Each structure stands twice: as structure tokens, then as C-alpha cells.
A and B are shown apart, each in its own frame.
Chain A
Amino acid sequence: MFAVVLMLLQGGIYFGFILSASAVIDHCPADVWIAPAMTVNFESAWLFSEDDLVAIKGTPGILWAEGLIHTFGYLRLPGGEGRWAQIVGFNPDTGIGGPWEMARGSFADLKKPGTYIVDESSLPQLEGVTVGDKMENFNRKMEIVGLSRGAKTYTTYPIMFTSFRTAQTLPFLEGMTNYVVAKLEDGADPGVTLERLRRFGRFDVLTRDEFTARTRTYWATKTGIGIGIGVTIALGFIVGLVIVGQTMYASTIERIREYATLKALGATNLEVCSIIWAQAALVGAAGCGSGMLVSLLVKATYSGQVVAVYFPVMIFPIMIATTLAMCLGASLLSIRRVLRVDPAMVFRA
């Protein structure tokens, strides 16, 4: 059970993290993301002039296009502490690139300069600020006007949303943007339209799926998170293998005379092994069932908190197969032992 909980929760944290890392991209209705060349993930895009937005909008096949900013702010909280934060600047008139669920307030509240929406999951990192609180961002006045839901931060920084125009008031961002997100016209050939955009020469032009994959791949492979979680999952597997193996072997040794009796009564090696396999499957089913239950309880307990845990449906059959493989692997020593047991031992004291 311990191994299943460890593997499942680590897997859940990994998927939760990966999904959070691309959450803004995934929830944005744009078909195309235009970013400065060499952009490796969502929060590392360099800047380009907002003037390019006009040319992009005029490209045949583009229905609409919006600027979108991702930057980092340095907040001075009401209590005086400093805190870095991720800030997404979007157009509150269209909501494109903004939060996808509001807990309090609305996008319209962002039309006033210096206003921000904080995601609920980030509140613990902001010392309990709430709607109406006033603070500073790079010495510029800011006010919390709403709370969003579901945009869990995937770093140690809280995540906040503001208007594109307010974001442009932050250092180095005047007249600049990180992204232009665009929608293709109905019937427009995506390949042709994207190729037209690439002719600008200064941009990475990606479909939403491509940018999602690029961002997730970056976090999974370039940051050590993937390998770190992978190693933990492997350790969970090994710990489970050893514990189940030891338990099964001890049980087999305890009953070795009974296995010898079965062989003496005419049980074949396959029949005797099938008893061990059945035990392994039973141990696996019990461990997997209870482990999944505990993992779901842990997920429910931490839902809405800082760590995002997400279990895709496929993780459960994979976990069942992994646990079964672990238990069958753990039974190999026992199998080896019963295969070698001499049925003639039934005659000995």
C-alpha cells in the first residue's frame, strides 16, 4: 500500500504540475501562439513590440489576435514583506488568456489601472491578502479586485492576473508584449496561415498543442522535476518489490511443508506456482485498492491547496498493472523456492 501511495501521489503531483505549467495555454481559446524566437516555455518568453500585433492581425486567415503578457512582479504585501509573483496580463474586454473560473469579482474590475485578480490557490503565499487589499508592485500601487479559481501555481510564486495595459506599466514592458495569441478564421488552412506568420522571421509560431507540449517538455526534462519524480516513483516500486517479496517469501518458507505436501499429492509445478501467483495478485489487489483509496483521500485533502495533484484516468490501470508486475516480480523468489522443494520432505519430521 505504501508503495502504491508513493507512486500514485508522485505521479499525481507530476501530472498536476505539468498541467498547471501549461494551464493558461490550455484554457486560452486561441489556436496560435506567436512568441519571440527561442521561447522554451510559457514563462520565459522574451519581449517584442506591441506594434507587431497590427501586422499579425492583418495576416490573411487570422480572425482575431490579442497581446498577452507573462511577467514577474515584485510585490510589497500589506504587512510589508516582499514577494515575487507571476503575473499574466490579458485583455479584460475579451478575457482571452485570463482566468477561466472566477470565485469573486469579474474581468470588468480589471479595467481600472493597477487592479489585480489573485488565484485562490495562491492566497496562502500572499499572507492572507483578500479582495480590497492594497499593496505595491515594483513601487506601483495595486489593488486586489477579484479571486480566480483553478489557476494553481506550479512554482513557488503566487499567480495573479491583471489587464494587458496594467501589465505594460511594469518595468521594461511599456509598449511591449510577450505573446500574441490568435484565432484562425473558419476554413483557413492552419498550415498556410502559420507559414505566413513564420515569414515575419522573428517569431516562434506554434499551435496551442505545440506550445503546450513545448512547455510541458521543458519542465519535465530541463528542470530535474521529471527525473526527480521518476526516481521517487522508481524507489516506490523498489520498496514495494522488496517489502512484498520479503513478506511473500517469509510466508512461503512458513508453509514450505504444505507446498511439499501438495507436490507429493500430485500437484504440478505450474499448479503450485499458481498458488503463489494468486497470493501475489491478492496482495497486489489489496495494496493497490487501499493505496488508491488513501491517495484519493490525500488528493481530496490537499485539493485547492498549493500542490496540484491530478490523476488522469489512465493512471489507474497503469498503477494496477504496475502493482501487479511488482507483486509478480516480488513472487519470483518464492516461486524459485517452491520449484525446488522436494516432495519427499513430507516423510521427514
Chain B
Amino acid sequence: MTALEATNLVKVYRGGSDEVAAVRGASLKLEEGELVLLMGPSGSGKTTLLSMLGCILTPDAGTLRVGEETVVWNESRLPAYRRRCFGFIYQHFNLLSSLNVCENVQVPLVLAGRRSASDELAEHALGTVSLAHRLRFQVSELSGGEKQRVAIARAIVADAPILLADEPTGNLDGENGRGVMALLRRLAVERGKAVLVVTHDERAVPYAHRVLHMEDGVVYAS
């Protein structure tokens, strides 16, 4: 079943009289249970496209369907799409430094108004990424690989059907990078998540079901 379908997404950045078309009619489909890589050179529009797919950035044209629903690009409605449909994983982890591991993982649950069940769910999510023993650790006490696994736990804790990852192995060594990709693959295969990974890292290719390429704002299938 299709988890996400983007059709002819366009994004043009305007600065004074200059216009830069970062994404020029990008289309892609993401099915449940598959891990898709989106690769391409720097400046090809991958991150802009990812921002639009995650309802963080409003496109100038095109449509986006999430599950059965067509996204309405109304600023007040976008946070709800983000909470309900997406888990985000970033190159720089973006964990909240003042919160401990468990509290970081609980953030999406708190935002979704599910605070009462958050202890149990956070512990379960951290168990999935093999970090249950780091529950009360401060973020600063973790290694890079552990931080990224906490970020993955945060992405899956609210059971979002789609995971969007931006260079998830970019700040990790080979072993940790492979561990993270294996984990994402497992989430796709075993939990039925639709996982889109934007990456430059060729080592990620073996973990993907499909690889898409992006160049000059357009997506091409391999």
C-alpha cells in the first residue's frame, strides 16, 4: 500500500530578483515496508524535497498524498501532519540537550497528547534500538551512534507510518553507520514502515529496496 506519493512538487527560492528552482517537478512514491534511498550530488534539491515530503516546507506547486489523505498546505494544519504521519531522523541528531534519553524519546508523545503512556512506549522504542539500558542517561553521555539510535527511537515511538531520514549515517563511523542502516531496514521490513533515506553514503545501498537519484531538482529512478 502506498504510504506517500508526491506528484510534481516544485519549490523555488526567491531572494530579491534572484530565483533558484531547488525542486522542479519531483515525483515519487513510497510504499509501506520498503526502504528507499534518495541519492544525488550536493545542491540537487534532496533536502528541500525531504522538507516538503515531511510537511515542513510548503511547495509552490504539486500535490502530496500521505496514506489516503491529500495534504492541505495550510500552516496551521501542517504540525498535525508532522506529528501523526512522520518520524524524522537527522544527520546532526537534533536531540534536546536539556532532556535525558527517555525524555527525548517521549517528545513526540507529549506533543501528541499521549503523555500518560509515554514511559512505557519510550522504553519499548529504546528497546527496539537496543538502548533500554541508557534510559536515564543524559544525551551528552552518549556516543554518536547511540545518539542516532535515540533519534530513531524518537522517530518510531509514536508509531508514525513514514520515517524520513536525512544523512542518518553522515556523522557516524562505518560500524555505527551500518548498524543504523540495518535498524532502518528492520523497521521497514518488520514493522511495515515506509522509510526514505536521503544520503550520499554508498554503504547504505545494500540496505535499500530501491534507490532514487536526484539531479537539478528532478527525481530519477535507478
Contact = CB atoms under 8 A, between A and B. Distances in A.
A258 B88 contact: no
Chain A CB count within 10 A is highest, among B50, B84, B90, B98, for B90
A346 B91 CA distance: 9
B210 interface: no
A265 B90 CA distance: 11
Interface string A36-53: 000000000000000000
A261 B94 contact: yes
B107 A262 contact: yes
Interface string B60-88: 00000000000000001001111110001
B143 to A, nearest CB: 19
B96 interface: yes
Given A258-B97, A261-B96, A265-B88, 15 more contacts: A255-B98, A258-B94, A260-B94, A262-B111, A264-B56, A264-B82, A264-B88, A265-B82, A265-B83, A266-B111, A344-B51, A346-B88, A346-B94, A347-B51, A349-B92
Given A346-B90, A347-B90, A267 B111 contact: yes
Interface string B155-193: 000000000001000000000000000000000000000
Nearest to A266: B83
A258 B51 contact: no
B57 interface: yes
Given A262-B107, A267-B111, A343 B56 contact: yes
19 contacts: A258-B96, A258-B97, A258-B98, A261-B96, A262-B111, A264-B54, A265-B107, A266-B79, A266-B80, A266-B82, A266-B111, A267-B111, A268-B76, A271-B111, A344-B51, A344-B57, A346-B88, A347-B51, A349-B92
Given A261-B94, A264-B88, A265-B82, A347 B166 contact: yes
Contacts of B8: none
A70 interface: no
Chain B CB count within 10 A is highest, among A266, A268, A343, A346, for A266
Contacts of A337: none
B47 interface: yes
B111 to A, nearest CB: 5
B33 interface: no
A110 to B, nearest CB: 69
Rank and list the top 7 A-B pairs by shortest CB-CB distance, nearest first: A266-B83, A266-B82, A261-B94, A344-B51, A266-B79, A347-B47, A268-B79
A165 interface: no
B108 interface: yes
Nearest to B55: A266
Contacts of A152: none
B141 to A, nearest CB: 18
B107 A349 contact: no
A216 interface: no
Contacts of B47: 344, 347-348
A257 interface: yes
Contacts of A265: 82-83, 88, 107-108, 111, 154
A263 interface: yes
A330 to B, nearest CB: 20
Contacts of B88: 264-265, 346
Interface string A247-290: 00000000101101111111110010000000000000000000
Chain B CB count within 10 A is highest, among A258, A260, A268, A346, for A346
A141 B79 CA distance: 87
A348 B42 CA distance: 12
Contacts of B54: 264
A293 B61 CA distance: 60
A266 B47 CA distance: 18
A265 B57 CA distance: 13
A263 B96 CA distance: 12
Nearest to B154: A265
A316 to B, nearest CB: 31
A141 to B, nearest CB: 75
Given A266-B108, A266-B111, A349 B83 contact: no
Given A265-B111, A349-B91, A344 B56 contact: yes
A348 B51 CA distance: 11
B79 A263 contact: yes
Contacts of A263: 79
Nearest to A259: B96
Nearest to A260: B94
